[in-house]
Amino acid sequence: MKKNVYLDNNATTAVAPEVREAMMPFFEELWGNPSSMHTFGGQVKKYIDEARERVASLIGAHPSEIVFTGCGSESDNMAIRGAVEASGGYPHIITTRVEHPAVVGVCRYLEERGCGLTELGVDSQGRLDLDQLKDAITMDTAVVSIMWANNETGVLFPIGEIVEIVKSAGAVLHTDAVQIVGKLPIDVRNTPVDMLALSGHKLHTPKGVGALYIRKGTRVNPLIVGGHQEGGKRAGTENVPYIVGLGRACQIAREHMAEEMVRVKAMRDRLEEGILSSCPDVRINGDREHRLPNTLNVSFEFIEGEAILLLLDELGIAASSGSACTSGSLEPSHVMRAMGVPFTAAHGSIRFSLSRYNTDEDIDYVLEHMPTIVKRLRNISPFVRKPAVS
């Protein structure tokens, strides 16, 4: 029987019922403007304060260090562009070759306007060489932006060690933590990054809300100017229901992440082992030791990722591929290229990403069908050598 199995949680997640429930009053009776002087609006403000505390508490920050934004991309843009602008001039920026487009885009935008840009490479496991970072950092380096967890492979970068290198050079460290927040515990008191981006829809809020952590004392210019909201750091009347939803999602993550991720990791590992043992010519992309517990990036040699996705989709299984085919290009993703994944494997790379809503039956269902899909596609693959016809 056909099932619906959603394994694309690094793209977006289902809205948690508790989050939806927390948001509802702000579409109904509590729709006032939190900046208004009257009670009708003013009563809403305390819910924003509560949400700010909940977000701060998930990452070990002080509530005054949290700025609500419209998404993870906005948080990344504000952090990097805002810190560059606050530095006055066109400084040097360091990032990596495997960042999300939200970071790549703003860094290249700033490069076009005169900033120096270094993009650090990774090895075949998707790991950074910290000596490369030490060599790249100069007196002119104002901002270093390095993701905490990679969205395609789940590979974790050693942000603790990176903080030390960047701090000793006197630069500002921003980390794109969009994929790690809500999946693994992080604490900016122990890992003192200067800025950190997160996004609600990766941890069970609707799309359209994010936050930027800005350590007290870090100089960042706002991206959106106008009103005095968010302490003057982000103008615009607050998106109250979504902010409240983000607060609730962070509260749930803080309370349940530890036990949920043990379960999620066990399912991910079973999926990985099941695929490895039932499908030949398969490789796991990314450092298996240092990886998000919910992510599996696997290459099926000699077949197209898109073809696998289509057959999975016919069965009701949602995953994603590493190539940029949807954007009209058949190039493998920039992450697979940076890792030097061979062409025949990079094209067949599939990302499965789980959440707390997945079940063991979901994994059984994928494992039941995967070998047949792979066999069927390899039979028609031009890359698989067929026996010569005499």
Task: Identify which of residues 11 and 311 has a Cβ nearer to ligand PLP in the complex.
Answer: 11
Integer Cα distance of 214 and 251 in angstroms:
20
Strands (E), 27-163: 66-69, 92-96, 116-120, 141-145
Asked if residue 72 binds ligand PLP (CB under 6 A), the reply is yes
Rounded to whole angstroms, what are the CA distances from 170 to 137, 142, 173, 266?
10, 8, 9, 41
Integer Cα distance of 125 and 96 in angstroms:
14
On whether the CB atoms of residues 26 and 50 are closer than 8 A, the answer is: no
CB of 28 to ligand PLP, least distance (A): 26
Which of 100, 174, 204, 291 forms a contact with ligand PLP (CB under 6 A)? 100
On whether the CB atoms of residues 219 and 1 are closer than 8 A, the answer is: no
Task: Identify which of residues 72 and 222 has a Cβ nearer to ligand PLP in the complex.
Answer: 72
- Segment near ligand PLP (CB under 6 A), from 28-36, 68-76, 231-239, 348-356? 68-76
Which of 147, 195, 279, 373 forms a contact with ligand PLP (CB under 6 A)? 147
115 catalytic, yes or no? Answer: no
Asked if residue 199 binds ligand PLP (CB under 6 A), the reply is yes
Q: Helix, strand, coil: what percent of the chain each, to 5? A: 45, 15, 40
DSSP code for 181: T
DSSP 74-113: HHHHHHHHHHHHHH-S--EEEEETT--HHHHHHHHHHHHT
| 238 Ramachandran zone, left/alpha/beta (phi>0; psi -120 to 50) | beta
Task: Identify which of residues 118 and 199 has a Cβ nearer to ligand PLP in the complex.
Answer: 199
Selecting among 107, 250, 279, 325, the annotated active-site residue is 325
Binding mask 148-187 for ligand PLP (x = CB under 6 A): ---x------------------------x-xx--------
Q: What are phi and psi of 251, to 5 degrees?
A: -65, -45
* Residue closest to ligand PLP when measured from CB atoms: 72
Which of 71, 104, 196, 264 forms a contact with ligand PLP (CB under 6 A)? 71
Asked if residue 333 binds ligand PLP (CB under 6 A), the reply is no
Task: Identify which of residues 98 and 279 has a Cβ nearer to ligand PLP in the complex.
Answer: 98
Active site members: 325
Q: By CB under 6 A, name the binding residues for ligand PLP.
A: 71-73, 76, 100, 102, 147, 151, 176, 178-179, 199, 201, 210
